[in-house]
Amino acid sequence: MPIPPPTPNTTVINLETPKKFRPLIGQAHTVAQEVLRPIARKYDVAEHERPKELDFLAAILNGMEDSGATSGAGAAGAGKGEDKPANGNGSDPAATKNGSNLSTALSIMEMCWGDVGLLLSIPGQGLGNSASAAVASPEQLEEFGGRWAAMAITEPEAGSDSASIRTTADLDPGTGEYVLNGEKIYVTSGERAELVVVWATLDRSVGRAAIKSFIVERTNPGMKLDRLEHKLGIRASDTAAFILQDCRVPASALLGSPEVDVKKGFGGVMQTFDNTRPLVAAMAVGCARACLDFTREALDQAGVGIDYDKPALSQSAAAAKFLAMEAEYDAARLLTMQAAWMADNRKPNSVQASIAKAKAGRTGTDVAFGCIELCGAIGVTETELLEKWARDVKILDIFEGTQQIQQLIIARQLLGRTSAQLK
């Protein structure tokens, strides 16, 4: 039976890699292979040491962005999506666009095939950059664009539940400045970044509706570095804890509207996650593929063949397990591309972003440890990078919202329940 053509109001998504992005993907893969992998073990061992080799790479990425030669060359290319469809004149509402969110996700997959921690350590490529791009005004993008921005959400008593943030932002009527007080932990690239996007509440009695994000200069004397964390993985990336004590920022540092809309909740700042969760999913996808590529070579050397023309159950147990992991990887990759594509086309993607993040985070961890099982002794030795990838990928199932939080978000949306009704 032939497949009927789409109706005029139906939008069709093609999940093949767009041709126009293939040069960018090739460049990102070359960087991963020639720049990131050779120094991956060095900076895993030398935790907290700044990878100076990445300064030149950052300059190249910034030059590519500034020249318009490509979009989404690093981890900071995600944006608000396109105002106009692909033809640029708005005449065809059914037209679609492959934009910076998708190209950024695809380039991240390649870079994290090289090293996740080093990607997060490239100057100017912080998650705070994509976070601010989600809600910043054109004036703010002009002022802060191009500078390395970290993101500070988590607190000692507010981890996965972002609505429980206790850091306060009080408006000083005399100066027109906001005064921030509180504590932030697990701030990725917090020590090295130039800016920090800090989440704080304007009024704790109101709840989540009063939570806003502020851009704070890293040199602000009211934001003091408390410590750097020693971690299981992504050791090349610094993870900081800050104390905010009478930290003053201008009113223009508030991202989005200063109005507290109880009906709207904190949807404004939550748009941050619609941008960044697909990027974290892309990191997990890239790391999973690195594990699979390494394991395929190891199986080949051990004489274990993988036949894509035969049923998995008619092959060896090792081959069957590998094929199952590869299928999970493909599902995670396609879900990530879907969430990023929807952002490019200004389609509500909160659910898809959470689905992609949940699927890719879990798949990355499962694939990494599954590959270690198949590789045996070489999977745990420090002479190979597989054991490092397994340590690195675990955080991608945790930050930007844990596996359990993603499932809650998805369930609430599918069941039509509020956060108060379904906890």
Instruction: Based on the residue annotation, tell me whether 47 is a catalytic residue of this protein.
Output: no
Report the phi/psi class of residue 90: left, alpha or beta, with left for phi > 0 and alpha for psi in -120 to 50. left
Locate 359 and state its tokens.
Answer: 């699927």
Q: Report which of 284, 331, 337 is spatially closest to residue 17, judged by C-alpha positions.
A: 337
Contacts of 376 (CB under 8 A, 6+ apart): none
- Say which DSSP state 155 is in: B
311, 389 in Cβ contact below 8 A?
no
Q: Which residues contact 22 (CB under 8 A, 6 or more apart)?
A: none
Q: Please state whether 74 falls in left (phi above 0), alpha (psi between -120 and 50) or beta.
A: beta
From the CB of residue 86, how many other CB atoms can be counted at a distance below 10 Å?
A: 15
Quick one: how many helices (H) and strands (E) in the chain?
A: 12, 8
Rounded Cα distance between 185 and 255, Å, is: 21
Catalytic residue among 65, 155, 194, 400: 400
Determine how many CB atoms are found less than 10 A away from the CB of residue 265: 17
Q: Residue 218 burial by CB count (10 A; 0-12/13-18/19+): exposed, middle or buried?
A: buried
CA dihedral 342, 345, 347, 349 (to 10 degrees): 30
Give the whole-angstrom CA distance, residue 280 versus residue 75.
10
* 8 Å CB contact between 279 and 272: no
Q: How far apart are CA 217 and CA 195, in angstroms?
A: 5
DSSP 255-305: ES-----TTTTTHHHHHHHHHHHHHHHHHHHHHHHHHHHHHHHHHHHTT--
Q: How many CB atoms lie under 10 A from the CB of residue 206?
A: 14
Catalytic residues: 400
